[in-house]
Structure 1
């Protein structure tokens, strides 16, 4: 049995392509994302999460989508995995996040981070942001993150104007504010060091789909080690709440001929390769096969045991009906093996 009660959610990259089978435009990707979140909530799934990528045929503007899902649903968590903070105006993002969270009734779980490689070289510069002299793009992301988190927490961010307030010595903060949102920020981490940093900052941990340090051990063991170091650093920091930890997995049950046509016989191991042509990284395996087989395999995954939230990547271009059926199969035949129960059940996590 799992060491931590489990939540499961889906994670969509939001791809579209004009020649795709079901998701041929940005409008398709957005509206189908909303419909899949509604369907997932009806299945008892705990979360609907979305990747954010710029300069690609993928979801790029998260807040309108999150707000729309919040207005159409009542229970399911709504999140990102992750928002690249190098590209963000942190004060505008704070206003957008608070508004979307209020619309959803406080269900946002925002994954933020330095982000991933993009087709545009230093694309954040096109958005008007450059690292400080002598700094890195990672420093830029963390600086934006600090401003964003201060703003959603209610800190003053500008001097008051005496012509309108009668005071020149006060500071004013942004509105609206959404209570509880500061505790629902997650840092996307691909290393042990950044996970420890996130713990010290009081952010939840969203362990990456790849680790940019290969120690030669299997991906799940390396990820479990990262999570253990994060939890230890959290305890040492003395925060007064329990953190959340998520991982993501590609889980494809092969039940129908259509499943087997699309996904074949599966992938039996991790992959090791280079990111940015220079950083060696380890990618986790896919779990593809008969539902009872992958249920046993997932139950033996060390990082699945260590996390409290497992995000299931979905092939969104195959459409809402296909992905709903896939999630239903996972919910009935796979997820119970890792300690998950449907939201609202007597033994729900």
Structure 2
């Protein structure tokens, strides 16, 4: 078997000789869309005290053939607040795997500085950066005011200004003309943010949950990241129905703006376990599912951190075949371009690495055998 970069994705290295799982209510083929096999990634939380463990996790994922790995971003907490620094360093210890964020909250960013940091990280990673951006709303925004400044006006207006300025800077907007005080530049020379990073703009994604925000991402030519929750619009529709509406709104807007179908990454917390000991350990690592038992844990509604009502998708803690069945029964997964396995925050390196291995070696053969 070839071990070239193009051949080492789990979607291409996992054996497809396994029997396709039976799954009531799902299409017999696993997908009727005719889409190519999805890319496979993962989302992990890397704590300040575990940077070496985070590096080891990504290196193991690369050896297993994962296409991409994403880190969570947190401010005033123990997890990474400056992911681009970590990913730039991580690029020196990996060769192929793409390195992303899920997600950088724009509420805390300066558009010009973020454009510079993204461009620098893009170059340092050799073009492997997959940055995901999102608003970063909080119902308790006042606790961030001292460190990041108080918001002036509406959250959405603030975030939209940052997003549009960021994209304009990356597109090469002239921000000023040089004067005599700009060293080594002829006065009158148009000034743009540096460094220039060709290809970066097309690799950015936006974490949008509603159809309106997903459509915005499509019009702007950004990829779309769909997480494990969706806004509750009061219609009583399921998590899958709400996300599917957002995904299709994104595709339609992307096509209408001339960007093609775009790129959709879907995150799912569907963890394969091989024995009761693993099941017990992971049960304690999922705070909202502490009473978990093997099998699909039904979706539920509650208030999320941003203060809005939300619908949370199901969690699966079960044997690999059951995880594959759950993915094949998920209509959003079947229309996505990439599936990202969400690892439980706080899981020891050994458990996270084992989960990535189990998913690649035991879930994907069943999943891919059922896909066209």
TM-score by length of 1: 0.86
Residues 55 and 118 in structure 1, CA contact (< 8 A), matched pair in contact too:
no
- Distance (Å, rounded) in 1 between the aligned partners of 2:268 and 2:298: 13
Specify the alignment match of 1:153 in structure 2: 171
Residues 253 and 288 in structure 1, CA contact (< 8 A), matched pair in contact too:
yes
Specify the alignment match of 1:255 in structure 2: 274
Specify the alignment match of 2:54 in structure 1: 33
The correspondence of residues 181-192 of structure 1 with structure 2, limited to 5 A, is 181-192=200-211
Deviates more, 1:294-303 or 1:308-317: 308-317
- Per the TM alignment, residue 122 of structure 1 is displaced from its structure 2 partner at its CA by 5.7
Change (3 A) 1:41 1:237: same
Deviation digits for residues 285-331 of structure 1 (CA, Å, limit 9, x no counterpart): 11111111121111110111011111111124232222111111111
Deviation digits for residues 108-153 of structure 1 (CA, Å, limit 9, x no counterpart): 111101024376536256313633xxx4112111211122222223
Q: Does residue 81 of structure 1 match 2:81?
A: no
Residues 70 and 100 in structure 1, CA contact (< 8 A), matched pair in contact too:
no
- Is there any run of 5+ residues in structure 1 with no aligned partner, and where? 17-25, 342-346
- Is there any run of 5+ residues in structure 2 with no aligned partner, and where? 1-29, 284-291
Change (3 A) 1:276 1:102: closer
Correspondent of 1:138 among 133, 144, 156: 156
The correspondence of residues 82-231 of structure 1 with structure 2, limited to 5 A, is 82-117=103-138, 121=142, 123=144, 126-128=147-149, 130-131=151-152, 135-163=153-181, 164=183, 165-168=185-188, 170-214=189-233, 215-231=235-251
Residue correspondences, number:
327
- Distance (Å, rounded) in 1 between the aligned partners of 2:174 and 2:133: 22
The correspondence of residues 44-63 of structure 1 with structure 2, limited to 5 A, is 44-63=65-84
Specify the alignment match of 1:280 in structure 2: 309
- Per the TM alignment, residue 201 of structure 1 is displaced from its structure 2 partner at its CA by 1.4
Q: Does residue 313 of structure 1 match 2:342?
A: yes
What is the DSSP-based 3-state SS (H/G/I as helix, E as strand, rest coil) of the residue aligned with 2:151?
Answer: coil
Residues 251 and 312 in structure 1, CA contact (< 8 A), matched pair in contact too:
yes
- Per the TM alignment, residue 260 of structure 1 is displaced from its structure 2 partner at its CA by 2.0
- Distance (Å, rounded) in 1 between the aligned partners of 2:60 and 2:82: 22
- Distance (Å, rounded) in 1 between the aligned partners of 2:145 and 2:158: 10
- Distance (Å, rounded) in 2 between the aligned partners of 1:290 and 1:79: 28
